[in-house]
């Protein structure tokens, strides 16, 4: 039988209600979509923990060696994933601000790459046309002064443009940047520390920070910027061990049960078609087309039930665009459910036999 003929017959069954497309689509969306939503919610918890670990500075290490760090070597480490950012820092001259002439503010001289590292570990605010130039103020200091990015700030060394403002929460991270000014400077010369942001965590990548040393390694101290959340967080292992890790398998089984139930309701029709000498291959093809008629809308509804809440949660809770990752988790569960339904449809039709026709007719 030609594909066009099969498609026409399948469409007629879908339109007439014989395929129960509406009921099956809703049941599929509720059952399989519910499993996908639960797995997505659990996966979101893992992603949020990973994001908290990364953004808190726990994935950032600092190699400290007073006047023993090469700024150029430290900056050169960045850009080779998983070592995403690096930068050098050293203690600067105390500054007095025009708005608070009686208060001495500690400053830090940093390389340009250090400024580029900040967004990885702290929320930052920059002018619309910012090129990451100018001094950077902690949010606490900027709030006290009433200063915004792009404003000028008067210091004892002259006026400077505020290139950006960064938050430095009291969440366990090292406090040296909590109430201070960062002054970008030339990377030439010696610095006091080299910070590296490595994500996902990788011991070999982190150890590259020692290449920035100008002295003996035993004179340096390597430590986490924030140790509150522990030394390691393996996001991949956390995902593999999550409570709902077998969600796709459960969806496969339940999808197969739904597909088998749909075919069981049409046993008489299948046996009658075989009695009318319809080829079993054509019968399988036709039932697969009809199954797709309720799997596609059911899958779309189920996926929407995963993506829309994930998009809302992403915008209101986490800091990065995790919608793609969450949608992939939900889509894998929905795909498994659809595969189970299609497999059960094929097997059920393949096992149908003409000899059951009269028994099924009598029990009708």
d(CA 331, CA 304): 10
The pLDDT value given to residue 219:
82
Query: Residue 1: pLDDT above 90?
Result: no
In DSSP terms, which residues pair with 31 in a beta bridge?
none
- DSSP-derived secondary structure for 93-117: --EEETTEEEEEE-EEEE-HHHHHH
Average pLDDT (6-10) is 62
Q: State the chain's mean pLDDT as an integer.
A: 85
pLDDT tens per residue, range 287-332: 888 888 889 999 999 988 887 776 666 665 544 446 677 778 889 9
Burial of 265-278, coded b for 16+ CB within 10 Å and e otherwise, reads: ebbebbbebbeeeb
The pLDDT value given to residue 360:
46
- C-beta atoms surrounding 364 within 10 Å: 6
In DSSP terms, which residues pair with 352 in a beta bridge?
none
Query: Residue 6: pLDDT above 70?
Result: no
Average pLDDT (176-199) is 94
User: Are 350 and 284 in contact, with CB atoms under 8 Å apart?
Assistant: yes
Query: Residue 354: pLDDT above 60?
Result: no
Query: Residue 204: pLDDT above 50?
Result: yes
d(CA 165, CA 6): 65
pLDDT tens per residue, range 131-177: 557 899 999 999 998 999 888 888 887 888 999 999 999 999 988 89
Query: Residue 9: pLDDT above 90?
Result: no
The pLDDT value given to residue 133:
75
| Strand boundaries in 106-239, DSSP class E | 107-110, 124-125, 135-138, 152-155, 158-166, 181-184, 190-198, 221-224
Query: Residue 106: pLDDT above 70?
Result: yes
Could you tell me what percent of the chain has a pLDDT over 90? 48
Q: What is the sign of the dihedral through the CA atoms of 56, 58, 64 and 69?
A: negative
Could you tell me what percent of the chain has a pLDDT over 70? 82
The pLDDT value given to residue 129:
64
Burial of 67-79, coded b for 16+ CB within 10 Å and e otherwise, reads: ebbbbebbbbbbe
Q: Which residue has the tokens 């939503």?
A: 37
57: left (phi over 0), alpha (psi -120 to 50) or beta: left
What's the DSSP call for residue 313? Answer: H
Alpha-carbon dihedral angle through residues 153, 159, 164, 169, given to the nearest 10 degrees:
-50
Which carries the bigger pLDDT value, residue 1 or residue 303?
Answer: 303
The pLDDT value given to residue 357:
47
Whole-model pTM: value is 0.79
The pLDDT value given to residue 285:
75
The pLDDT value given to residue 277:
62
pLDDT tens per residue, range 215-274: 888 889 999 999 999 999 988 899 889 999 999 999 999 999 999 998 887 776 665 665
């Amino acid at each position: 039988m030609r594909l066009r003929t099969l498609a026409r017959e399948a469409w007629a069954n879908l339109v007439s209600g014989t395929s129960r497309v509406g009921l099956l689509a809703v049941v599929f969306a509720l059952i399989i979509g519910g499993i996908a939503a639960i797995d997505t919610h659990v996966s979101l918890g893992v992603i949020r923990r990973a994001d908290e670990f990364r953004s808190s500075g726990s994935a950032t290490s600092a190699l400290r060696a007073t006047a023993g760090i090469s700024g150029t070597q430290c900056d050169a480490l960045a850009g080779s994933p998983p070592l995403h950012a690096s930068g050098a820092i050293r203690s600067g001259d105390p500054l007095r601000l025009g708005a608070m002439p009686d208060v001495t503010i500690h400053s830090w001289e940093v390389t340009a790459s250090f400024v580029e590292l900040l967004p990885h570990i702290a929320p930052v605010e920059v002018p619309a046309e910012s090129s990451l130039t100018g001094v950077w103020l902690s949010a606490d200091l900027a709030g006290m002064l009433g200063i915004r990015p792009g404003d000028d700030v008067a210091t004892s060394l002259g006026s400077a443009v505020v290139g950006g403002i960064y938050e430095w929460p009291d969440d366990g991270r090292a406090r040296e940047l909590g109430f201070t000014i960062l002054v970008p400077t030339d990377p030439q010369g010696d610095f006091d520390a080299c910070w590296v942001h490595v994500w996902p965590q990788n011991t070999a990548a982190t150890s590259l920070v020692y290449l920035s040393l100008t002295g003996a390694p035993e004179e340096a101290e390597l430590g986490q910027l924030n140790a509150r959340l522990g030394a390691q967080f393996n996001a991949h292992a956390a995902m593999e061990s999550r409570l709902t890790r077998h969600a796709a398998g459960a969806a496969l089984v339940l999808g197969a049960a739904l597909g088998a139930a749909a075919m069981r309701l049409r046993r008489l029709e299948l046996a009658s078609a075989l009695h009318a000498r319809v080829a079993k291959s054509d019968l399988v093809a036709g039932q697969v087309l009809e199954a797709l008629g309720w799997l596609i809308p059911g899958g779309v509804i189920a996926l929407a039930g995963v993506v829309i809440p994930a998009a809302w949660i992403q915008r209101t809770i986490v800091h990065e665009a995790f919608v793609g990752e969450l949608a992939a988790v939900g889509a894998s569960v929905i795909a498994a459910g659809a595969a189970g339904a299609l497999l059960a449809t094929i097997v059920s039709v393949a096992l149908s036999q003409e000899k059951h026709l009269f028994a099924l007719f009598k029990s009708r």
